[in-house]
C-alpha cells in the first residue's frame, strides 16, 4: 500500500469512525455489556431498557392509567370536501379526581374506501385552523387571541390527503396540556395523588402528556368503524413532532411514525448538536420534560442515551425523519445522523433504512423503512413534506 492509499484508508476509517458512534451511547450494547444481535434480544432486553431510561430520565413516566370516560359524536358530515370525505368532530372526555377534561378530535376520512392510512397529529392553533370549513368548531383559546380559521391550511393539506386516499385526524395540543409552566390545568390534575400539585421528578412533562393524548386518540380511532385502526400514522411538526415521536416510540400500535423538523428533544442527537442545545431547550422549556432531565442540562455527555435510541424504538415500523435546509435550530445533520444510527435496529429485522452516512441533497428523499429528506426552505411542514409522507405511507403502511 503506498502512502496515498494508506492516507485515504485512514481517512475513511477515521470518518466512518467519527460518524459512527463516537461519544454516542451504543444502541446495541445492553446495560450488562452484552451485544444485541437479534430482533428477539432487542425486543426482550434492549428496547425495554431504553424505554425505561428515556422515560424516567427525559420525557417522564405517565403516572397512572386513565381511559376515555365518554365519547360524544358532535358532528358528522358525509359530504365534506366536495363530497369526497366524511368529517367528524368527536369529543373525548376524561375523568379523574372529580375533575373532567375534554378534547375534540377532528377527522376527515376518504369516502368509499375500506382501508386507508390516517395521519394523526396535533395542530398548533385549534382544529378550526387546519382548513377553512365553517363547520369546524372554534377551539377554546388558551393562549392569547383566537387564531383565524384556516391559518394552518398549508400545513395540513387536508384536500391533498383526501385526494390521495388518506385520512387525517387532529386535536389542539393545549387541550391536553398547556404549553406554559402550569401544571394546574390540562391532564395532570386528573392523575395527581392526594396533595400533589405538580408532577414528581420522574413523572411526565408536557411532551409525554401530549404523547399520551395521541395514544388516547388512537384508542378512539381503533373503535371508529370509519377508520382503519391498524393504519394510523402519528405525525407532528416541531415541538409537536417531538410529542409524536415519543408517542410512536412508546406505543407500538401506531403503524408508522413521522417526525417533521422535530429537532432538539425530537429526532436530533443531543451530543455535538448545532442550533438549539439541550441547555437552551431546558432553560426555555422546562415544562417539556421530567424534572429528572434537568440534571443533564449542563452535562449532556452524561446522558445514558441519545435520540437515535428513541427513533430505534419505532423499529420495525416505518419511520420518516424530515428536516428543512434553513432550520439550523433543529440541526438537520444531527436529525439525519440519528436516523442513520437507528437503522441498525431495522437491520436486525432484515429491513433497510438509511444505508449511507452521506448527507443527502436537498429535496431528495433517501432510505427505505427508515427514510429521510431535507426540504429546501424554512422550519415548517408543507406540501412537499406531505407528498413524501403520502408516498411513504402507500409504500410501507399496508
- Tell me: does residue 307 bind ligand GCU (CB under 6 A): no
**Most distant CA atoms of the chain, gap in Å:** 78
Q: Percentages helix, strand, coil for the chain, rounded to the nearest 5?
A: 40, 20, 45
- Tell me: does residue 359 bind ligand GCU (CB under 6 A): no
- Tell me: does residue 264 bind ligand GCU (CB under 6 A): yes
- Tell me: does residue 263 bind ligand GCU (CB under 6 A): yes
Whether 266 and 257 have beta carbons less than 8 Å apart is answered as no
Closer by beta carbon to ligand GCU, 233 or else 281 = 281
Closer by beta carbon to ligand GCU, 231 or else 337 = 337
Full DSSP string of 61-92: B--S-----EEEEEEEEEEHHHHTEEEEEEEE
**Which grid cell is 72?**
360524544
The CA distance from 47 to 313, in Å, is: 6
Closer by beta carbon to ligand GCU, 118 or else 323 = 323
Contacts of 398 (CB under 8 A, 6+ apart): none
The CA distance from 129 to 34, in Å, is: 50
The CA distance from 320 to 120, in Å, is: 14
Task: Give the side-chain half-sphere CA count within 13 A for 83.
Answer: 0
Closer by beta carbon to ligand GCU, 47 or else 237 = 237
Closer by beta carbon to ligand GCU, 100 or else 326 = 326
**Which grid cell is 332?**
438537520
**Which grid cell is 245?**
415521536
Closer by beta carbon to ligand GCU, 291 or else 328 = 328
Whether 106 and 89 have beta carbons less than 8 Å apart is answered as yes
Residue 68 CB coordination number (10 Å):
17
Least CB distance from residue 277 to ligand GCU, whole Å? Answer: 10
Least CB distance from residue 284 to ligand GCU, whole Å? Answer: 6
The residue assigned the cell 432538539 is 264
Q: Residue 367 pairs with which residues in a beta bridge?
A: 371
Least CB distance from residue 272 to ligand GCU, whole Å? Answer: 17
Complete edge-to-edge strand list for the sheet that includes strand 256-260 = 70-79, 85-96, 99-110, 167-172, 118-123, 232-237, 256-260, 319-324, 370-375, 366-367
Least CB distance from residue 369 to ligand GCU, whole Å? Answer: 25
Least CB distance from residue 124 to ligand GCU, whole Å? Answer: 8
Residues known to be catalytic: 238, 379
- Tell me: does residue 121 bind ligand GCU (CB under 6 A): no
Least CB distance from residue 60 to ligand GCU, whole Å? Answer: 17
Residues 202-261 close enough to bind ligand GCU by CB under 6 A: 238-239
By CB under 6 A, name the one of 19, 142, 220, 329 that touches ligand GCU. Answer: 329
- Tell me: does residue 323 bind ligand GCU (CB under 6 A): no
Contacts of 201 (CB under 8 A, 6+ apart): 290, 291, 292
The CA distance from 303 to 269, in Å, is: 11
- Tell me: does residue 57 bind ligand GCU (CB under 6 A): no
Least CB distance from residue 239 to ligand GCU, whole Å? Answer: 3
By CB under 6 A, name the one of 57, 133, 203, 276 that touches ligand GCU. Answer: 276
Closer by beta carbon to ligand GCU, 46 or else 237 = 237
Residues that bind ligand GCU (CB under 6 A): 238-239, 263-264, 276, 281, 329
Amino acid at each position: 500500500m503506498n502512502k496515498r492509499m494508506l492516507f485515504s484508508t485512514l481517512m475513511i476509517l477515521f470518518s466512518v469512525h467519527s460518524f459512527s458512534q463516537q461519544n454516542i451511547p451504543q444502541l446495541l450494547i445492553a446495560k450488562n455489556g452484552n451485544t444485541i444481535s437479534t430482533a428477539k434480544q432487542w425486543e426482550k432486553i434492549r428496547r425495554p431498557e431504553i424505554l425505561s431510561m428515556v422515560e424516567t430520565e427525559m420525557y417522564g413516566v405517565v403516572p397512572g392509567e386513565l381511559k376515555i370516560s365518554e365519547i360524544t359524536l358532535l358532528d358528522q358530515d358525509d359530504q365534506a370536501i366536495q363530497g369526497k370525505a366524511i368529517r367528524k368532530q368527536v369529543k373525548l372526555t376524561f375523568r379523574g379526581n372529580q375533575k373532567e377534561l375534554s378534547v375534540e378530535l377532528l377527522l376527515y376520512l376518504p369516502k368509499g374506501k375500506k382501508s386507508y392510512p390516517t395521519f394523526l397529529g396535533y395542530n398548533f392553533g385549534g382544529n378550526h385552523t387546519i382548513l377553512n370549513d365553517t363547520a369546524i368548531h372554534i377551539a377554546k383559546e388558551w393562549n392569547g387571541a383566537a387564531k383565524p380559521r384556516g391559518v394552518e391550511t398549508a400545513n395540513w393539506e387536508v384536500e391533498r390527503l383526501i385526494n390521495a386516499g388518506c385520512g387525517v385526524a387532529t386535536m389542539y395540543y393545549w387541550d391536553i396540556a398547556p404549553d406554559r409552566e402550569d401544571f394546574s390545568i390540562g391532564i395532570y390534575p386528573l392523575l395527581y395523588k392526594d396533595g400533589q400539585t405538580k408532577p414528581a421528578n420522574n413523572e411526565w412533562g408536557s411532551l409525554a402528556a401530549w404523547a399520551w393524548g395521541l395514544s388516547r386518540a388512537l384508542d378512539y380511532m381503533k373503535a371508529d368503524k370509519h377508520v382503519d385502526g391498524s393504519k394510523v400514522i402519528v405525525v407532528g411538526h416541531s415541538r409537536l413532532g417531538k410529542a409524536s415521536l415519543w408517542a410512536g416510540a412508546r406505543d407500538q400500535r401506531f403503524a408508522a411514525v413521522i417526525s417533521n423538523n422535530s429537532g432538539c428533544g425530537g429526532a436530533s442527537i443531543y451530543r455535538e448538536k448545532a442550533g438549539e442545545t439541550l441547555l437552551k431547550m431546558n432553560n426555555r422549556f422546562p415544562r417539556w420534560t421530567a424534572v429528572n432531565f434537568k440534571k443533564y442540562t449542563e452535562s449532556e455527555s452524561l446522558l445514558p442515551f441519545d435520540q437515535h435510541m428513541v427513533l430505534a424504538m419505532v423499529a420495525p415500523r416505518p419511520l420518516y425523519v424530515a428536516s428543512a435546509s434553513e432550520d439550523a435550530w433543529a440541526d438537520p445533520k444531527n436529525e439525519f445522523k440519528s436516523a442513520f444510527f437507528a437503522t441498525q435496529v431495522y437491520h436486525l429485522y432484515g429491513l433497510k433504512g438509511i444505508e449511507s452516512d452521506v448527507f443527502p441533497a436537498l429535496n431528495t428523499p433517501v432510505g427505505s423503512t427508515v427514510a429521510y429528506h431535507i426540504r429546501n426552505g424554512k422550519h415548517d411542514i408543507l406540501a412537499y413534506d406531505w407528498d413524501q409522507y403520502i408516498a411513504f405511507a402507500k409504500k410501507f403502511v399496508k
